[in-house]
Amino acid sequence: MCGIVGAVARDNVVPVLLEGLLRLEYRGYDSAGLVVSNNSLHRLRTTGRVAELIKLVGEQNAEGLAGIAHTRWATHGAPSERNAHPHISGTESQIAVVHNGIIENHESMRERLQTDGYVFVSDTDTEVIAHLVDYHLKQTQDLFKAVCLSIAELQGAYAIGVMEEIRPDRIIVARNGAPLLLGLGEDGNYAASDASALLKVTRNMIYLEEGDVAELVRDQYRIVNCLNNQLGEPVERVVHKSDLSNEAIEMGPYDHFMQKEVFEQPGAVANTLEMVFNAQSISPNLFGAQAESVLSDTDSILILACGTSYHAGLVAQYWLETVAGMPCSVQIASEYRYRDPIANPKTLVVGISQSGETADTLAAVSYAKELGHQYSLAVCNVAESALVRQTTLRFLTRAGPEIGVASTKAFTTQLASLLLLTVTLAKMRNKLSAEREQQMIRALRHLPAALQSSLQVEPEVEVWARRFSEKHHALFLGRGVHYPIAMEGALKLKEISYIHAEAYAAGELKHGPLALVDSEMPIVAIAPNDQLLGKLKSNLQEVHARGGELYVFADADSQIEESENLHVIRLAEHAGLLSPILHTIPLQLLAYHVALKKGTDVDKPRNLAKAVTVE
């Protein structure tokens, strides 16, 4: 989604703005722009990559001691230069605005501002903000007040950056529902959508809260909160020292962030489970100070998530029911928020999200609370995210920054965390003997090594990828707890290689999808040696008999032999409950290598964004 960078400093801020935009590229965008002020506003915009903007800056010698910059992921209006940010307004002197999020009342605001004489030159909701701020600026002659009064009129979830021609030494930023933080540096003050954008200039960060408006000049800043007062009440916010390393956000020796992140999984899972590795037993405290009392009062689980995180929830459902005997329902967040579900105050609502900023997940968790669910838990990869701030309990997946748009290490660390939740609940509900608990701890300690051995299948997967790259469709099959893994494999393939892929529970094939099977349709099957293997083999026979070409990821002891049109890659070991985590790896590798063969943009697939901060 859109990325914002702002800077006011002793020296020309353009390099900081551009570096920040490069760091935010992973969020997904289709145009980029910046404005700097040097007594007049100098704006540059392009529908190309940030590299194109860098070229424009060089050609036009853009410089300034303050500026705001933006990558736009189109929502209102096509990706075009006319719709790219910053947007400018100004009857007396000019102001410029960048914006992330959606203004829900933009249509009525647009009509009102048009009546006031404003002429719109773009199709964006952002331009409404620019004219509205200008309108209030004319009344108040003070940009800070004008921004506060404007946000009081805007509905939706957004973060904005504003600057004006006549004060080329300051920027104003505001946050309401979309992420924005301040960076406090020695040579200047900064703002950005996330910490990675500012690491080159500072590690001192302030995470703005809902309704905060901040004014930044080179050596000072002030923050007010406008939730209860239109003009804002001064507030103090804690300064955090970011411990994000440059290494964590750089590609290093890899060709793509996705490749790096796939291979980081053994380490990411080890970091996530570190507390368990050092412990002799599993304790509810892993989920927060109140966890013991909340979990002992919980009688069921409701999981809310989107995309890959939703798939993690579906795997957890099997675990929670089987191991902890806990009723569990898993809902797509964007659907749940518009239903009329029946709330149970003893249900623990679990929001799963890599970013912790996914608008639908945040809204669904809030909605569950409104309906009467009193307990919530975030399973999230970003400690300062909105999701973590809004839940009673939290468990941080310690995957490190995930920059490739396709989620990989976030998924496997979510699974590891959810298994931990399952084991914790099983223990609290007397469903887990001491011996079984020790077995689980041993299995979790072994997980990083087992993941490492799953990665060894890469050369074999690469051979398969060559055949897939010529296909237009693929089916993925799994049964039981591996059905959501088939769904995740299909999602990975479609999002980065643009091959149409669908997942089915293997037993469901004969109820319709079998009609699709012919020699042109590759069928990927996940075949662990579990209690459903016999059933799965029968389903594979149904496909084989109809000329379908099968690509099977089996466990070493699954006893599925290669034959014509039946190809098998064997994972080194059968991991019992942990099997879905291990079987994810070859599917990620398959998608990655197919995308490479097809030459698509692996890390930034078309039309997609990393943190989906709009509905």
Active site members: 2, 610
Rounded distance, CA 552 to CA 567, Å? 6
Rounded distance, CA 160 to CA 154, Å? 12
Which two tokens mark 376?
A: 């919530």
Which two tokens mark 595?
A: 């995308």
Report the nearest approach of ligand F6R to the CB of residue 113 (Å): 33
Comparison of 494 and 546: residue with beta carbon closer to ligand F6R: 494
Q: Cis (ω within 30 of 0) for the bond into 253? A: no
User: Is the separation of the CB atoms in 203 and 181 below 8 Å?
Assistant: no
Which two tokens mark 280?
A: 């002799």
Cite the DSSP H helix spans in 103-224.
106-115, 126-140, 143-153
* Residue of 285, 364, 73, 35 whose CA lies nearest to 193: 73
Residue 396 DSSP symbol: E
Report the nearest approach of ligand F6R to the CB of residue 586 (Å): 16
Report the nearest approach of ligand F6R to the CB of residue 504 (Å): 19
Rounded distance, CA 379 to CA 78, Å? 34
* Residue of 595, 522, 593 whose CA lies nearest to 552: 522
Rounded distance, CA 410 to CA 407, Å? 6
Comparison of 259 and 355: residue with beta carbon closer to ligand F6R: 355
The three-point CA angle 15-16-19 to 5° equals 80
Report the nearest approach of ligand F6R to the CB of residue 404 (Å): 8
Question: Which residue is at the shortest CB distance from ligand F6R?
Answer: 307
User: Is the separation of the CB atoms in 583 and 489 below 8 Å?
Assistant: no
Q: Given the rule CB under 6 A, which residues bind ligand F6R?
A: 306-309, 353-355, 358, 361, 406-407, 491, 495, 611-612
Rounded distance, CA 610 to CA 598, Å? 21
Comparison of 308 and 424: residue with beta carbon closer to ligand F6R: 308
Comparison of 184 and 268: residue with beta carbon closer to ligand F6R: 268
Comparison of 171 and 382: residue with beta carbon closer to ligand F6R: 382
Report the nearest approach of ligand F6R to the CB of residue 195 (Å): 16
Q: Which residues have a Cβ under 8 Å from the Cβ of 250 and sit 6 or more positions away?
A: none
Comparison of 347 and 354: residue with beta carbon closer to ligand F6R: 354
* Residue of 495, 514, 527 whose CA lies nearest to 605: 495
Report the nearest approach of ligand F6R to the CB of residue 304 (Å): 10
Which two tokens mark 82?
A: 């006319």
- Tokens 């899972």 — which residue? 269
User: Is the separation of the CB atoms in 3 and 30 below 8 Å?
Assistant: no
User: Is the separation of the CB atoms in 72 and 84 below 8 Å?
Assistant: yes
Comparison of 314 and 612: residue with beta carbon closer to ligand F6R: 612
Report the nearest approach of ligand F6R to the CB of residue 410 (Å): 6
